Structure 1
C-alpha cells in the first residue's frame, strides 16, 4: 500500500486539546438551546419543571434518541435516511401482529422485527451501493413502501391487546428511571464506543470525509455502506419496538415526522449533512432538545399545527447552522 495515501483516512489529525475544544463547540449550541428552552417553558407553565413531567420527557426522548443514533452513523457517511418514521410504524405493526395475532411470543416478535429492520436496511443499502440511487431518493422510496406496508398489514386498523410484560419494556422503571430511557442510554454508550474507538467507526467517518481517499487506502466502501444502512434499519426497528411498548398499541401511521426530529437532532448536536462529522452524545442532546421543544409547546397550550410549523423552522435552522459551521471550520 502506498504510504503517501495512508494519511487520507486519518479523521482526527489535530492535537487532543484542540479536538476537545472543537467537540465542546459542537455541543455548545445544543446545550445553550436546551437551557434557554427550559427557562422559557418553565416560565410559561411551572408544571414543565415538575419531576413528573421530566419523567415523561425521559420516556419521550428515548425513541427520538434511538433514531438519532442510527441517523448519526448514516449522516456521518454523507448519507441520510428519511424513512425512519415509516419504518417505526411498520416495525410496530409487525411486532404487534406477531405477538397478539399469531401468539408466537414476545421474544420471537422482537427478533422478527429486528430482522425486518435488517431487511429494510439491506434494501436501502443495495439501492445506494448497487443501483447507485442517491440516499435521499432510496430512503424516500422506502418511506412510501414501509408506510404502505404498515397500512396493508391490517387495512389501517390498530392492533391492541399487547401483554403487560411486553409493555414493561418501555413503561417499567429501574432505579426510578424509565426502562426505555435506559435502553437509549445503553445503546448510546455502545454506539459512542463503536464510532469513536473502533475501526468500524473510523471507516464510517473516513468515508463521509472523502470516499475516494477511503477507497484508495483499501476500505471496502460499498460493503461498509451496506453495513451502515443495515445497522440503521435494525436500530430504527428497535425504536419501533420501544415505541410500541410505550403506547401499548400499534398504529399504522405512528412515527410520523420522527425522521425529521432525528435528522434535526443529529445536526443540532454537531453532525454535518456533508459527512465526516458526528458525535453520539451530541445527537442525544439534540434529541433531548427536540423532545423539550415538543413537550414544552404542548404544556404551553400551543396548537399541534403550530408545532409542525416550529418543527419545519427548526429543521431549516439546523441545516443553516450546519452550513455555517462548515464555512467556519
Structure 2
C-alpha cells in the first residue's frame, strides 16, 4: 500500500504540475510570509517600541496558541481539498461540554478532557459522513455544522457561561514552561507531531494525494472515502482540543468562544502556501501564517487602531489569501 500511495502522489503530480515547479511555488509563498513577518515586526516596533519587548512576545505566543492548533487541523482538511468553517463553533461547544463536565457533573479532569475530545471526533465523523456518504460539498457540510454546534453550545446553559473551574484544570494553559506559556507548548508539540504525520507517514501522503487528484488516488488503491472520514475526524478532534485549551486559558466555558477563529485558520493555511484546491500545504507554512496574522493583530492594538478595523483587516487578509492562491493556480 505504501508503494500505491507513492504511485498516487506521483501520478497526481504528473497531472497537475512538475514536482519541482510545485516546490518552487511553495518556497516563494513561504519566503513571502517570512518577508511580510519581518516587515511587520520592523514597522510595529517603530510605531511602538513596546512591541519588541519579551512581555509582548509572550502575549503574542498566547494569542497564537489556539489559532495554531486550529490551523493544524485545517491544514489536513484543506490539503485533502476540503474546508472546515465550523471550527470556531465546535471550539465553543467543546468549551461548554468540558466546563460542564467538570463543574456541573464533577467528573475528573482527565475524563472531561476525553469526553470533549470524543465529542470533537463525533462532530468530525458527522461532517465526514455528510461529505463522503451524502456527497454534500465540504463548505455546506461545515456551514451546517457551524450552526448546529453554535446552537448546541447555547442550548447547554441558555447561553450563560460556566465559571468556577478548578485551578488544576487551569494549569493546562495558564502555566509557564521554559519562559513560554503552557498553551504555546501544546501548540508546538501538536505542530511537530502533525508535521511528521503529514510529511513522513502514509496518512499524510494519502491526504496530499487525495487533495491533488482523488480519482488517481482511488486508482492507486487508496480508500478515498475512508481516508476523508479520518481526516475530518482528526480535524474535529483538534478543534475540541482548542476548545479545552481555550477553556483553561479563560477559566470559563463560553458558548460563543471561537467566533471567526476558522477565518484565521483558513487564512493561515493559505498564507503559508497551502492551496484551497488541495494537494499542497505544510504545518510550518500554516504556523508562519498564524504568526503573521497575530503580529498584525497585536501590532495594530499597540498602535491604538480600533478593534473594528482589525475585523475589516481580517476580512481583507482572507480575501487576499484566496486571491494569492488563485494566482498560484493560474501560474501553473
TM range (shorter): over 0.9
1:5–1:216 Cα contact (<8 Å) kept:
no
Retained in 1: the 8 A contact 2:269–2:289?
yes
Q: Does the C-alpha gap of structure 1 residues 168 and 118 become closer, same or farther in structure 2, counting only changes over 3 Å?
A: same
Counterpart secondary structure, 2:160:
coil
Tell me the alpha carbon deviations over residues 153-178 of structure 1, each in whole angstroms, 9 at most, x when there is no partner.
Answer: 11010111111111111110111111
Q: Does 1:260 align with 2:263?
A: yes
Provide the C-alpha distance between the structure 2 equivalents of 1:78 and 1:32, rounded to a whole number of angstroms: 27
Q: Does 1:75 align with 2:78?
A: yes
Query: How far apart in 2 are the matches of 1:85 and 1:5?
Result: 33
TM-score, with normalisation over the residues of structure 1?
Answer: 0.95
1:119 to 118, 122, 134: 122
2:146 corresponds to 1:143: yes
Q: Kindly indicate whether residue 135 of structure 2 is the aligned counterpart of residue 132 of structure 1.
A: yes
Unaligned runs of 5+ in 1: none
Q: Distance in 1 between matches of 2:167 and 2:62?
A: 17
In the alignment, the residues of structure 2 paired with residue 84 and residue 138 of structure 1 have an alpha-carbon distance, to the nearest angstrom, of 12
Q: Is the 8 A contact 1:5 1:213 kept in 2?
A: no
How far apart, in 1, do the equivalents of 2:210 and 2:298 lie? 36
Is contact 1:195-1:202 (8 Å) kept?
yes
Q: For 1:13-63, what per-residue CA distance to the aligned partner results, in whole angstroms no more than 9, with x for missing partners? A: 899987765543231121111111111221222211111010011111011
Alpha-carbon distance in structure 2 between the residues aligned to 1:188 and 1:224: 21
Query: Is residue 85 of structure 1 aligned with residue 88 of structure 2?
Result: yes
**C-alpha displacement at 1:200, in angstroms?**
0.7
Residue 240 of structure 1 and its aligned partner are, at CA, apart by: 0.7
Shift of 1:229: 0.2
**Alignment pair present for 1:169 and 2:172:** yes
Aligned mates of 1:232, 1:5 — CA distance in 2: 22
Partner Cα separation in structure 2 for residue 206 and residue 24 of structure 1: 19
How far 1:5 moved relative to its partner? Answer: 11
Kindly indicate whether the alpha-carbon contact (under 8 Å) linking 2:84 and 2:139 is maintained by their aligned counterparts in 1. yes
Alignment partners' CA distance in 2, 1:218 and 1:8:
8
Instruction: Tell me which residue corresponds to 1:153.
Output: 156
Residue in 2 that maps onto 1:9: 9
Cα distance, 1:133–1:55 mapped onto 2, change above 3 Å: same
How many angstroms apart in 2 are the aligned matches of 1:52 and 1:7?
Answer: 49
Query: Matches of 1:227 and 1:79 in 2, distance apart?
Result: 13
Alignment partner, residue 185 of structure 1: 188
d(CA) in 1 for partners of 2:60, 2:95: 21
* Whole-angstrom CA distance in 1 between matches of 2:154 and 2:281: 34
Moved more, 246-255 or 112-121: 246-255
Q: How far apart are the structure 2 equivalents of 1:123 and 1:16?
A: 34
> The residue matched to 2:159 in structure 1 has which SS?
coil
Moved more, 173-182 or 68-77: 173-182
Whether 1:301 aligns to 2:282 is: no
CA distance in 2, matches of 1:197, 1:139: 28
1:311 match: 314
Classify 1:141/1:17 alpha carbon distance in 2 versus 1 (closer, same or farther; 3 Å): closer
- Gaps of at least 5 residues in structure 2 are none
Deviations 1:142-195, CA, capped at 9 Å, x for gaps: 000000011001101011111111111111011111111111111111111111
Shift of 1:328: 2.2
In 1, are the aligned partners of 2:76 and 2:231 still within 8 Å (CA)? yes
1:36 — aligned with what?
A: 39
SS in 1 for 2:164: coil
Counterpart-to-counterpart distance in 1, 2:54 and 2:46: 16
Give, in whole Å, the separation in 1 of the partners of 2:244 and 2:286: 20
Aligned to 1:219: 222
